[in-house]
Structure 1
Amino acid sequence: MLWRRRIEPFTRPLVYAFFRFKRGLTLGVRAVVTDEAGKVLLLQHTYVHGWYLPGGGVERGETAELAVVRELQEEAGVRALSRPRLVSAHSNEVLHPGDHVLVYRIEAWETCASNAAGEIHAVGWFDPHDLPEETTRATRRRIAEALHGEEPDAMW
């Protein structure tokens, strides 16, 4: 699946153009989940470099809360047992005009089957003060905001 990462820089503009045409305004969600040791859940996709918080797009007819629960289960094999708590909202205007991302905190969860269907390369739990080098800058900021009380930045 590494071929997806190689072509991603070329296909991203086409994917964004398609979503922009189809939806106009897009909404994404990300989940901040920690285990009993305080480690944060991150994942790597097969189609882009870096470690990210689990999440994805909100589908038509779906609430943001349901989307974050669905994406968490699909991508990471984690089932939320408590209602997601909204932490922050961000504009992703720089990378994707018209896109916004909501960040949720999941307080109670259990493991379950994942059905990422080739989308996820790796899933891991990491100390929030010692994240992998390839953790994206935006992911680092969202973790600091959700877990360390830093002021949320309006921009992704």
Structure 2
Amino acid sequence: MNWRQRIEPFTRPLFFAYSRMQRGMTLGVRSVAVDADGRVMLVKHTYLAGWWLPGGGVDRGETTGDAATRELFEETGLKATTPGRLVSVHSNERFFRGDHVMVYRFDAFETGELTHHGEIAETGWFDPLNLPEDAHRSTRDRMAEMFGGAPVDPRW
């Protein structure tokens, strides 16, 4: 476990408190990039354990689709060549009151240069129904919904 993963449990509440003072609701996106072989791109953060869908917060003045495209590029180097398609919307009350997450699917992209500035430790392509053991629960849930026929859970 690196130093970022060790301090994350302590810094995250401070980030949430700051976010709550700045806005009543937060909005995030996750991007599901699917390659020609049907595999999905996942990332490992330097500050969280496990495999996650690329994503992050929506910036002021930015559309959710633009945020999903930006986060996909920043975290994986994949540059969307067509707009992503909104797949699902989730309430993330379990994690942070007032938080919402939108999931976008990308089927057309080209490889570009990574711009994550040390946030991403590793990227990888995986079979969406045969994920690594340490894939985060939310990643597993979204893959089961998108590829396994599970009903979409409105809660993250």
Q: TM-score range by the shorter chain?
A: over 0.9
In structure 2, C-alpha distance between the alignment counterparts of 1:66 and 1:27, rounded to whole Å: 13
Equivalent position of 2:3 in the other structure: 3
> If the length of structure 1 is used for normalisation, what is the TM-score?
0.96
In structure 2, C-alpha distance between the alignment counterparts of 1:109 and 1:15, rounded to whole Å: 32
In structure 1, C-alpha distance between the alignment counterparts of 2:22 and 2:144, rounded to whole Å: 33
- Summarize deviations over 1:64-103 as a string: whole Å, max 9, x none: 0000000000000001111111100000011101100000
Counterpart residue identity of residue 111, structure 1: T
Shift in Å at residue 11 of structure 1? 1.2
Counterpart residue identity of residue 30, structure 1: R
**Does residue 1:139 correspond to 2:139, yes or no?**
yes
Unaligned runs of 5+ in 1: none
In structure 1, C-alpha distance between the alignment counterparts of 2:27 and 2:7, rounded to whole Å: 24
In structure 2, C-alpha distance between the alignment counterparts of 1:14 and 1:67, rounded to whole Å: 23
> If the length of structure 2 is used for normalisation, what is the TM-score?
0.96
In structure 2, C-alpha distance between the alignment counterparts of 1:105 and 1:114, rounded to whole Å: 20
CA contact (8 A) 1:32 1:146 kept: no
In structure 2, C-alpha distance between the alignment counterparts of 1:15 and 1:127, rounded to whole Å: 33
Shift in Å at residue 59 of structure 1? 0.4
What does 1:1-156 align with in structure 2 at a 5 Å threshold? 2-156=2-156
CA contact (8 A) 1:41 1:53 kept: yes
- Summarize deviations over 1:21-73 as a string: whole Å, max 9, x none: 11221100001111111111000010111100001000000000000000000
Name the % identity.
56
RMSD over aligned Cα, in angstroms? Answer: 1.1
Counterpart residue identity of residue 137, structure 2: R
Counterpart residue identity of residue 94, structure 1: R
